[in-house]
Chain A
Amino acid sequence: MTPLLKVNELSKFYGNRIGCENVSFDLYPGEVMGIVGESGSGKSTLLNCLAGHLEPDTGEVLFQTRADGMRDTVTMSEPERRMLGRTDWAFVHQHARDGLRMGVSAGGNVGERLMAVGARNYGDIRSKAIDWLDRVEIAEDRVDDRPSAFSGGMQQRLQIARNLVTGPRLVFMDEPTGGLDVSVQARLLDLLRGLVREMGLSAIIVTHDLAVVRLLADRLMVMKSGQVVESGLTDQVLDDPQHGYTQLLVSSVLQV
């Protein structure tokens, strides 16, 4: 099996400071990778480098494109990278406001990606939008409401619908459950797990919440000070942490 995403010795520096350093991993189709670490450990820098939002200083990010096989997304042209960004990739922001157009109705938000890849039939766009709202448990009669009229959890679900409507193969998630209360978190995680399994998505989830990776991720990478200090199967890493920092992280979770 060939990997969907192959990262080779990726580094990003902010002047003399390290963003992330020498990160390498493979992600296979249908696999969910979790990245955990404290804030400032370089998780988000890494994710933004992978998703093409930041330009890494060294290293390559190879993506298995539909047309041309393995391509380095760092060196490909900007139009190609942006095209990937709205077709095969999806990016779920921590704050739904960053990923949604707050002045545009829910239907328009979901339809935007369809229209961006050339859909020009209003009826089709609308029925697809309604279908997707239904899949993320938003009632059909809210399709013409603006996201500002939605609760935080609904906004986050809308953001997910908007991202998945074009059938991406790789989803980047930056703290998808951050800022949501625990019961809403649980529902969102349930929904995400369902969608990931059902669509066979690959995903990279950045979080500091170990419960999230326990539920969603197949594999885990632990980052500290820009370095990957430990990686492996999620249960293996969480149940038998080897690195001192991972042990600290696991033991600091409150037991209820």
Chain B
Amino acid sequence: MITKSENAPGTASEMPDYNFAYLDEQTKRMIRRAILKGLAVPGYQVPFASREMPMPYGWGTGGVQVSASVLTPEDVLKVIDQGADDTTNAVSIRKFFERTAGVETTEQTDQAGVIQTRHRIPEEQLREDQILVYQVPIPEPLRFLEPRETETRKMHALEEYGLMHVKLYEDISHNGAISTSYAYPVKVEGRYVMDPSPIPKFDNPKLEMAAIQLFGAGREQRIYALPPYTQVVSLDFEDYPFEATKADHACDLCACETSYLDEVIVDDAGGRMYVCSDTDFCRSRRAAGHVGTLGTPFEGDAA
């Protein structure tokens, strides 16, 4: 396990205003039970009594509740939003746990014990002693085709997943290819069809990993999970197989050709650059001396 260093600031005992990690112990107990059930039945959406959190729905209230329930005072937390450590969502959730749990936080993937993520899986391979927590807006993969909750529950129970392929069929018939590029449906251990949250389909192959993956949907009140090394298959057709796509370019800062890229418009004359969406991955590559076509040699944290 990763433990925080001796002189880390703030522990739960110094924070009398809140219980450790904001939620009360009974709530955490309830959420942990949902998590355990989710791990026991991979891909199954476990209902839980989602709490009001001091942030709006859509900002990751599900992920925050799951993180709060699995955090221990010794954990090191990393929060990313679309791969980046420094965007509003990531910064505010990181601050939230710094204040309410007093845990140490980091931006380095390999230093973190718990990683809460919005819409990306880190480029760096995760280990067995790490937990990846996803923020999920809509946990039901069948929702846009079948609006009735009673019906989708029945379809999951009876393994009636033909409808999921209707969506992919529609993609091909309208666009000539499976155009679903994020929240791409997967089948877990040959049983439950699951929405992997809106991660790009580039990340789908990485869902079979060593770390525990927990998915929390606050507004929809569902938790689901993937235990380590669970089989996760992306749905497709025989003649239109699944493809993990990314922008056909190298990162302009670190020259990486295998990472998932963000396209950044840099002026109003059509100029654009491609950069790794995983900021920590990009930074560590530049620190190791890789320089992209638009990049400058790495000079510490100034960049």
Task: Count residues of chain B with CB under 8 A from any CB of chain A.
Answer: 16
Query: Are A116 and B163 interface neighbours, CB within 8 A?
Result: yes
Name the CB-closest residue of A to B235.
A120
Cβ of B148 under 8 Å from chain A: no
Query: Are B166 and A108 interface neighbours, CB within 8 A?
Result: yes
CA distance A121 to B163 in the complex (A): 15
Q: Decide: A105 near B170, CB < 8 A? Known: A116-B160, A122-B239, A122-B240.
A: yes
- Count chain A CB atoms within 10 A of each CB in B158, B160, B166 and give the residue with the most: B166
Query: Are B162 and A115 interface neighbours, CB within 8 A?
Result: yes
Query: Are A108 and B237 interface neighbours, CB within 8 A?
Result: no
Contact with A along B221-238 (1 / 0, CB 8 A): 000000000000000011
Cβ of A224 under 8 Å from chain B: no
CA distance A103 to B144 in the complex (A): 10
Q: Closest approach, in angstroms, between the C-beta of B265 and any C-beta of chain A? A: 33
Query: Are A121 and B169 interface neighbours, CB within 8 A?
Result: no
CA distance A224 to B169 in the complex (A): 46
Q: Which residues of A contact B173 (CB under 8 A)?
A: 105, 107-108, 126, 143-144
Contact with B along A87-126 (1 / 0, CB 8 A): 0000000000000010111011001110111101111011
Query: Are B169 and A108 interface neighbours, CB within 8 A?
Result: yes
Q: Closest approach, in angstroms, between the C-beta of B240 and any C-beta of chain A? A: 5
Query: Are A125 and B158 interface neighbours, CB within 8 A?
Result: no
Which residues, 229 to 285 on B, are CB-close (under 8 Å) to A? 237-240
Cβ of B145 under 8 Å from chain A: yes
Cβ of A197 under 8 Å from chain B: no
CA distance A29 to B237 in the complex (A): 36
Q: Which residues of A contact B239 (CB under 8 A)?
A: 121-123
Task: Count residues of chain A with CB under 8 A from any CB of chain B.
Answer: 25
Contact with A along B143-186 (1 / 0, CB 8 A): 00100000000000010101101100110111000000000000
Q: Closest approach, in angstroms, between the C-beta of B234 and any C-beta of chain A? A: 13
Cβ of A214 under 8 Å from chain B: no
Query: Are B165 and A120 interface neighbours, CB within 8 A?
Result: yes
Q: Decide: A111 near B238, CB < 8 A? Known: A82-B160, A116-B160.
A: no
CA distance A118 to B238 in the complex (A): 12
CA distance A113 to B163 in the complex (A): 9
Query: Are A117 and B162 interface neighbours, CB within 8 A?
Result: yes
Query: Are B165 and A101 interface neighbours, CB within 8 A?
Result: no
Q: Decide: A116 near B162, CB < 8 A? Known: A104-B170, A105-B170.
A: yes
Name the CB-closest residue of B to A107.
B173
Pick from A82, A104, A121, A123: contact of B166, CB under 8 Å:
A104
Cβ of A78 under 8 Å from chain B: yes
Query: Are A122 and B162 interface neighbours, CB within 8 A?
Result: no
Q: Which residues of A contact B165 (CB under 8 A)?
A: 115, 120
Name the CB-closest residue of B to A109.
B166
Cβ of A15 under 8 Å from chain B: no
Pick from B145, B158, B238: contact of A121, CB under 8 Å:
B238
Q: Which residues of A contact B145 (CB under 8 A)?
A: 101, 103-104
Cβ of A244 under 8 Å from chain B: no
Contact with B along A46-57 (1 / 0, CB 8 A): 000000000000
Name the CB-closest residue of A to B164.
A115
CA distance A57 to B238 in the complex (A): 45
Which residues, 58 to 89 on A, are CB-close (under 8 Å) to B? 78-79, 82, 86
Q: Which residues of B contact A143 (CB under 8 A)?
A: 173
Pick from A107, A113, A117, A118: contact of B169, CB under 8 Å:
A107
Q: Which residues of B contact A108 (CB under 8 A)?
A: 166, 169-170, 173
- Count chain B CB atoms within 10 A of each CB in A78, A108, A120, A125 and give the residue with the most: A108
Q: Closest approach, in angstroms, between the C-beta of B200 and any C-beta of chain A? A: 23
Q: Closest approach, in angstroms, between the C-beta of A184 and any C-beta of chain B? A: 27
Q: Decide: A122 near B169, CB < 8 A? Known: A79-B158, A104-B145, A144-B174.
A: yes
- Given A105-B170, A121-B238, output 12 extra A-B contacts at Cβ < 8 Å: A82-B158, A104-B170, A105-B173, A105-B174, A107-B169, A108-B170, A112-B162, A115-B162, A116-B163, A120-B165, A120-B238, A126-B173
User: What are 23 A-B interface contacts by the 8 Å CB criterion?
Assistant: A78-B158, A82-B158, A82-B160, A101-B145, A104-B166, A105-B170, A105-B174, A107-B169, A108-B166, A108-B170, A111-B166, A112-B162, A112-B163, A112-B166, A115-B162, A115-B163, A117-B162, A118-B162, A122-B172, A122-B239, A126-B169, A126-B173, A143-B173
Q: Which residues of B contact A (CB under 8 A)?
A: 145, 158, 160, 162-163, 165-166, 169-170, 172-174, 237-240
Question: Lowest 5 CB-CB distances: which A-B pairs, in order?
Answer: A116-B162, A115-B162, A115-B165, A122-B237, A121-B238
